[in-house]
Amino acid sequence: MKTEEQYFAEGTPIKDYMDQMDTHQEASMHVYNEFQLPEDGPFISLLKEKKPHILAITEDWCGDAMMNNAILRRIAEEGDIEVRTVLRDENEELIDQYLTNGGRAIPIYIFLNEKGDVIGKWGPRAPQIQEYMTKGKSELPDAEDPAFEEKQKELFAHITREYATNEKFWSYVYESLSRALILALS
C-alpha cells in the first residue's frame, strides 16, 4: 500500500484540480475569489517556516469540498505551501484510513511534514457547519416517508447554496482549518 507521501507526490495540484472541475467549479471559484484571508501573520509565518504538504482527498460533486478546497487554496497560496488532491472514489484504500463516523466523508486534508510523515488531519467540516448540517438533517421526514428523497434533495441544494455564498461559513472553515494546522505544526 502507498504512503500518504506517495499519494501526495502523485496528486494533482489544487489549482489544476479546481481548473478541471465540472460540477461545482463556478461556485468554488466564487468562494476562492471572494474569500478574504484575515490578517493572521503568525499563522502564515508558521506555514512558511514549517512548509507542510497537504494531501486533499476530494471529489468534484461534494458541496463541502467545493467550499473548503477554495479556502484551503487561499491559505496555501498565502503561506507558500503545496496542496495536492486525490479523488476519493479512485482511492478507497486511502479514504478508508480516514473515515468519519464510519463513512467516507470528504474533504479530508492530511497534513505532512517535510519528511512526508502524517502530522495531522482536518475534515470534512468545521464544527459549526456540522451543527448546521445535523440540524437540517434532523428536520427531514423519516427515510420511509415518500417525501424523504425530495426533502433531502432540497436540503442539500440549500446547503450547497449556503456554502457558496455564506461568508460566515467561510470564516468557520478558516478558523477550524487554521487551528488544526497550528496544532499539527506546533
Q: What is the pLDDT of residues 147-177, one digit of tens each?
A: 999 999 999 999 999 999 999 999 999 999 9
Closest CA to 90 of 121, 112, 58: 58
Q: Please tell me the predicted confidence (pLDDT) of residue 74.
A: 98
What domains are defined for the chain?
4-126+168-185 (3.40.30.10)
Grid cell 450547497 is found at 160
| Average pLDDT of the segment spanning 38-42 | 91
Q: What is the pLDDT of residues 92-132, one digit of tens each?
A: 999 999 999 999 999 999 999 999 999 999 999 999 999 99
Q: What are phi and psi of 35, to 5 degrees?
A: -70, 125
Q: Please tell me the predicted confidence (pLDDT) of residue 40.
A: 87
Closest CA to 101 of 67, 125, 85: 125
Q: Please tell me the predicted confidence (pLDDT) of residue 1.
A: 84
Q: Please tell me the predicted confidence (pLDDT) of residue 162.
A: 96
Mark residue 122 as left, alpha or beta (left: phi above 0; alpha: psi -120 to 50; beta: remaining). beta
| Average pLDDT of the segment spanning 57-84 | 97
Q: What is the pLDDT of residues 47-62, one digit of tens each?
A: 999 999 999 999 999 9
Chain centre distance of CA 9? 19
Strands 12-13 and 108-112: unpaired
Q: Is the peptide bond before 124 cis (omega within 30 degrees of 0)?
A: yes
Q: Please tell me the predicted confidence (pLDDT) of residue 105.
A: 95
Q: Please tell me the predicted confidence (pLDDT) of residue 95.
A: 97
Q: Please tell me the predicted confidence (pLDDT) of residue 143.
A: 92
Q: What are phi and psi of 113, to 5 degrees?
A: -85, -175
Q: How confident is the model at residue 139 (pLDDT cuts 50, 70, 90)?
A: very high
d(CA 110, CA 57): 8
Strands 12-13 and 53-58: unpaired
- Give me 48's grid cell: 512558511
